[in-house]
Amino acid sequence: MNDIAKPDIKALIKLQEAETQIVRLKEVLEKIKTQKDKLSSKLKRFGNTLEKQKDDLAAASKNCRDSEREIQVVDERIIKSNETLRMVKTNKEYQVLLREVDDNRKRKDAFETELLEYFDEEEKIEESVQESQKEFDLLKDQIDAEQKDIEKESIDDREMLEDYLTQQKEIGKSLDSSLMERFAKISKMNQGLAVINVDNAICRGCFMNIPPQLYIEVQRGNSLILCPQCSRILYYIEKEEV
């Protein structure tokens, strides 16, 4: 129990009022941040899915180009073999080239069938990408609008937080540094509630009774008195006579 001036008690009460609002507003703003982060994550997940579809489309397009190149190579071989056929002199060479032409034509047919399948796949993926892009653009516009509304609603809370932080700083200047350190320590121990009033010998922080003599000292307001149960700084509010 330490002697303390009544103005210091009043300053501690004001400091607690500011601290309580600061804790409340920080929680509100943290919830707002969480809400915005959830919206951003939703858009990011959709965007990742869209990018995967675009990668699939690029792969399908590459398959088409590769098949077209293979067909072109086989075509060139068939043309070259046909030209060579006119120049061969033996039946054996002729038969070999003929089989080669036949084999290449079969390969060409296989590549053309494969190419048609790739074209179908590319077309389906492209339609899916276009649809997903539209949905993504709509979702982005919607989320951007929601986040702007959330940000707009939080402006007042941010301004209030700045005001209370300023109050906290100014009140702190009027108090002894050791008293401020004690306040900060108790506040940290009790989730931001360091100073609490006593009503009918009951601490309004932990709702436990305090000893009668201690209650009298709190009513006098000349000492820094802590609750024996929760260690909060206690003060008494004079009741107005009815």
pLDDT digits (tens, 9 = 90+) for 6-58: 788 899 999 999 999 999 999 999 999 999 999 999 999 999 999 999 999 99
Nearest-angstrom CA–CA distance, 180 and 159: 24
Close Cβ partners of 26 (under 8 Å, ≥ 6 residues apart): 161
Please tell me the predicted confidence (pLDDT) of residue 242.
44
Ranges in the chain, pLDDT < 70: 1-5, 240-242
Please tell me the predicted confidence (pLDDT) of residue 240.
58
Nearest-angstrom CA–CA distance, 59 and 42: 26
For 225: left if phi > 0, alpha if psi spans -120 to 50, otherwise beta; the answer is beta
Q: Which residues pair with 198 in a beta bridge?
A: 203, 236
Contact 56, 121 (CB under 8 A): no
Please tell me the predicted confidence (pLDDT) of residue 85.
84
Please tell me the predicted confidence (pLDDT) of residue 238.
79
Domains of the chain, with CATH numbers?
A: 21-174 (1.10.287.1490), 181-236 (no CATH)
User: What tokens were used for 86?
Assistant: 């006119």
